[in-house]
């Protein structure tokens, strides 16, 4: 808060106190709902008690809370500004000649800074905890959960070779990815035409991803025009690591911010579309702007003079507009994934629309 006056610091502290209260309330609700949901899922096992369910809840919570952080700033900002307004503190400041922009812009700037921290620190932490949550949940509920994907498809390759991998099931053993019931289809690029040409097929009972290679067990290898060859074990070079392989199984939302560029490059190198990862990358980059936009919206719907009435209704409209922005964000993402909207526009439009809406309303209601 260096460079801010006493008034700005006071309003900023009050606003962030309300944001903290909103975060506590929303986090408590998320934890409660998630605990109940996991109790219904994991509770089918008699050997899983409340401590294990609570551990899963804590591992899952950061991923859910980061989705709701824009609402934390919207609700907390509205609570903070409405409280100052009802105590006539904002009225006294403005009567003394203090412009509303002096205590709106610091809050918006602080929200932007928190957004930067959220995508650079909280997002990787949430992704790591979510990965551990999935691993623990799969371990606890092996052969119980029906929503765990059975068939697995992977693709890896370089400038000369492409390998398509199919497996009936996957899990983690000792920190290594293990595939069961594995089929590997090896293709080699034609040096003249560049088209992939089938070279051989390998069937294995199990494949473990070790550093730099796949370790296959109980292998049968077949090459076009030749008889199959059996072997107890076989190693196949791999460009994947354990984390990268698990990212292929996960949705773009489950990949950490810092690993998204590598995931985009590896996906495109393997011949897949990286549109989902690129959309997620731009959505994360727009998060600080979205936080600032929510802070501006909170102020825009909370500064109406109490004596004029309608402050509660105006604040309620601000909350409703926040939900509209959320659904607009989801809708834009769906249109981008369907190749109807450009990825850049779909990711940045919700934050820009929210920010411009708040600034427009403030320009009409504030006289400087």
pLDDT at residue 134 in the model: 75
- Give the pLDDT confidence score for residue 120 in this predicted structure: 93
Cβ atoms of 367 and 317 closer than 8 Å: no
Long-range own/partner contacts, residues 155-161 (CB < 8 A, 24 or more apart)? 155/270, 155/271, 155/272, 156/238, 156/239, 156/240, 156/270, 157/187, 157/239, 157/269, 157/270, 157/271, 158/239, 158/269, 159/189, 160/188, 160/189, 161/186, 161/187, 161/188, 161/189
Low-confidence ranges of the chain (pLDDT < 70): 1-3, 43-48, 138-151, 158-159, 172-175, 194, 225, 241-251, 269-273, 304-315, 365-368
pLDDT of res. 144 = 54
Q: Residue 207: beta bridge partners?
A: 179, 216
Measured CA distances, 48 to 37, 43, 51 (Å):
14, 7, 8
pLDDT at 46: 55
**Pair 315, 297: CB distance under 8 Å:** no
Helix (H) or strand (E) holding 170: strand 161-173
Strands 161-173 and 152-157 turn out to be antiparallel
**Residue the block writes with tokens 């800074």:** 113
What pLDDT was estimated at residue 287? Answer: 93
| Res 319: pLDDT | 74
Q: How far apart are CA 299 and CA 105, in angstroms?
A: 10
Q: Answer yes or no: are the C-beta atoms of 80 and 15 closer than 8 Å.
A: yes
d(CA 359, CA 363): 6
Q: What share of the chain is helix, strand, coil (3-state, %, to 5)?
A: 60, 20, 20
């Amino acid at each position: 808060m260096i460079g801010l006056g006493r008034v700005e610091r006071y309003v900023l502290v009050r606003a962030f106190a309300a944001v903290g209260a909103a975060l506590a309330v929303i986090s408590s609700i998320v934890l409660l709902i998630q605990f109940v949901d996991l109790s219904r899922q994991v509770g089918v096992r008699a050997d899983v008690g409340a401590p294990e369910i609570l551990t899963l809840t804590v591992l899952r919570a950061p991923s859910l809370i980061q989705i709701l952080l824009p609402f934390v700033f919207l609700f907390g900002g509205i609570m903070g500004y409405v409280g100052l307004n009802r105590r006539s503190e904002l009225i006294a400041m403005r009567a003394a000649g203090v412009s509303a922009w002096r205590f709106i812009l610091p809050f918006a700037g602080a929200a932007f800074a928190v957004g930067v921290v959220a995508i650079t620190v909280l997002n990787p932490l949430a992704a790591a905890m979510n990965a551990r949550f999935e691993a623990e949940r799969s371990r606890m509920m092996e052969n119980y959960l029906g929503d765990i994907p059975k068939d697995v498809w992977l693709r890896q390759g370089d400038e000369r070779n492409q390998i398509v991998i199919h497996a009936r099931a996957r899990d983690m053993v000792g920190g290594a990815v293990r595939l069961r019931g594995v089929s590997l289809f090896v293709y080699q690029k034609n040096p003249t035409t560049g088209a992939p040409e089938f070279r051989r097929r390998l069937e294995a009972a199990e494949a473990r991803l070790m550093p730099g290679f796949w370790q296959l067990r109980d292998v049968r290898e077949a090459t076009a025009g030749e008889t199959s060859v059996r072997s107890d074990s076989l190693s196949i070079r791999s460009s994947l690591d354990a984390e990268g392989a698990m990212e292929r199984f996960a949705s773009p939302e489950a990949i950490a911010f810092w690993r998204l560029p590598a995931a985009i490059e590896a996906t495109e190198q393997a011949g897949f579309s990286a549109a989902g990862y690129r959309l997620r990358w731009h959505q994360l980059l727009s998060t600080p702007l979205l936080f600032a936009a929510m802070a501006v919206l909170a102020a825009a719907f909370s500064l109406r003079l109490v004596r004029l009435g309608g402050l509660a209704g105006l604040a309620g409209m601000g909350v409703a507009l926040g939900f509209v922005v959320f659904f607009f964000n989801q809708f834009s993402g769906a249109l981008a994934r369907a190749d109807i909207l450009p990825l850049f526009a779909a990711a940045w439009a919700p934050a820009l629309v929210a920010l411009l809406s708040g600034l427009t309303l403030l320009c009409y209601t504030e006289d400087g």
